[in-house]
Every structure is written in C-alpha cells, then in structure tokens.
Structure 1
Amino acid sequence: MATFQFELVSPEKLLLSRQVEMATIPAAEGEMGVLPGHAPMIVALRGGIIRVRENGAETETLFVGGGFAEVSPERVTVLADEATPLASLSRAASERRLAEAEAALREVQTSDPEAKRDAALARVLAMRTAVEAAQAA
C-alpha cells in the first residue's frame, strides 16, 4: 500500500517520524483524514487526537493541544503546541489542567481582546478532550 512521511514535532522534541498509510488529525474545521497524494494545505489544529495507521492497523494515538499541520502529497508535518501519547495521558492531571483552564476562562473579561478570549476557550475545549481521551485509554 502507498505511504507518506508523517512527522509530529512538539516544542520539546521530534515525537514521530516514519512512513505511514494514513493519519487522522484534529483540524480546526473538523477531523481530517490524510492519505498519500493529498492536496497541499496548511491547517490549524484544535485540541484532539491524532491517529496513525500502518500496515492496515492503528499504531499510534496521541493527544495534541493544538498547533498546525502542513500537508503535501508526500508528507505531513504536525507542529503541536503539546503532544502526549494516549497511553501516557493521566486522567487526574488532565482533570487538574481542565480546572485551571476553566478558571483562566472565567478570569477573561469581555473587554479583553477577542483573541485572548478565543485562546482561553480553545484551551478549555482541548483539556475537555484530554479528559475524555484519558478516561477512554
């Protein structure tokens, strides 16, 4: 089966770099499946789960807190704000981070810039996804 190069980079390190058959990424507009030969694009990512398929099976699932993905016919590069393998995602830590994000959102004033309000809300939504993913793992 045809493959493409998939790379996942977090601020700390390169987490994944190999040939894969398919990747599903949490684009801001919705889940996006990428196969070899995909049309070139750059997309913003929301907090969600990246799923990687190799040899007909799902081999990697990782939580990302947001970021960007550059897609070309031969390569996908994900630049994640944060990335954690699902198996390493702690439910207690995710719930604590959700509570912190919700508190930060409550502190945002209506007079604050819209970008600041949007960022606080995006963080809450990402942490809700992390809690759900940790419970399912």
Structure 2
Amino acid sequence: MPTNLEIVSPEKLLLSRPVDMAVIPASEGDMGVLEGHAPMIVMLRGGTIDLYEGDRVIDRLFVDGGFAEVTPERCTVLANHAIPLAEVNKADAERRLAEAEAAYEEADKSDVAVEDAALDAVQSARAMVEAAG
C-alpha cells in the first residue's frame, strides 16, 4: 500500500498523491519514506524530492528547505518553494547562488541566527545549481 505525500507551501497545497516511496533531502542526509515509517519531524535542506512507483523515479521536485512530518500513513513536506525539477533553470539558479553568496558576505557574523540563515540560503542555492546541472 502506498504512502501519501503532500507538499505544502504557506499559500497552498502544491501536491498530494500516493507514492510507493519518497526520498526527501533531510538535513542529516537523504531519507527514504515508505508506508509504516516511524513518526518523526525532520528539517529539510535544499535539494530534490524523488517520488517512486515501484523501483523507478516517476517525478522529481526541488525544494529550498523546510520541514517534513512523517507518519506511518503520510509524509507532509512544508516548504516555501517546491518546483518540478524540469522547471529549474540553471541561469536562475546561478543568479540565486550569486545573490545568496553576496548576502552571506554582508551578513553580521556576530549574530549566529543571521549567519546560519544566510549560510542556509547559500547551501540551498548551491543545491539548486546542482539540480539544474
């Protein structure tokens, strides 16, 4: 029996569909989610979510970070942006990386929260460039 995957942004439900497995970019590393998974909440880093039917990837989406709530029946991803991988543009991703790196250089490094947020933006943009490549 498949697990239900939902991807939600602050504005709306972006995707809701049953999948055999979802591989999400958890902050500690890629994590496969199958039906019956132990409940947990994990932070996400920028990266791709792979949706599986059987043993093949049927869809890929880029997320810029966020959280995922996993239950035995469902995986709910809360992300500011989720983009089908086919729509990720390399030039836009490289521009985003340049902007994030510039913002990191300007960030107040004495404020840990500000520095961490700026570094997260750089890492997400790098992941987007890699996904576009």
TM-score by length of 1: 0.93
Equivalence for 1:106: 105
Given that 2:108 and 2:114 are in contact with CA atoms closer than 8 Å, whether structure 1 keeps it comes out as no
C-alpha displacement of 1:12: 3.8
Equivalence for 1:74: 73
Unpaired segments of 5 or more residues in structure 1? none
Equivalence for 2:53: 54
Equivalence for 1:3: 2
TM-score by length of 2: 0.95
For residues 24-56 of structure 1, give each alpha carbon's deviation from its aligned partner in whole angstroms, at most 9, with x where no partner exists.
001111111111100000011111110011243
C-alpha displacement of 1:84: 0.7
One-letter amino acid matched to 1:105: Y
Equivalence for 1:14: 13
Count of residues paired in the alignment: 133
Q: Distance in 2 between matches of 1:11 and 1:102?
A: 25
Unpaired segments of 5 or more residues in structure 2? none
Equivalence for 2:125: 127
CA RMSD of aligned residues (A): 1.1
C-alpha displacement of 1:108: 1.0
C-alpha displacement of 1:18: 1.0
C-alpha displacement of 1:16: 1.3
C-alpha displacement of 1:11: 2.9
Three-state SS of the structure 2 residue aligned to 1:109 is coil
Runs of 4 or more consecutive aligned structure 1 residues displaced over 4 Å after TM superposition: none
Equivalence for 1:45: 44
Q: Distance in 1 between matches of 2:77 and 2:55?
A: 22
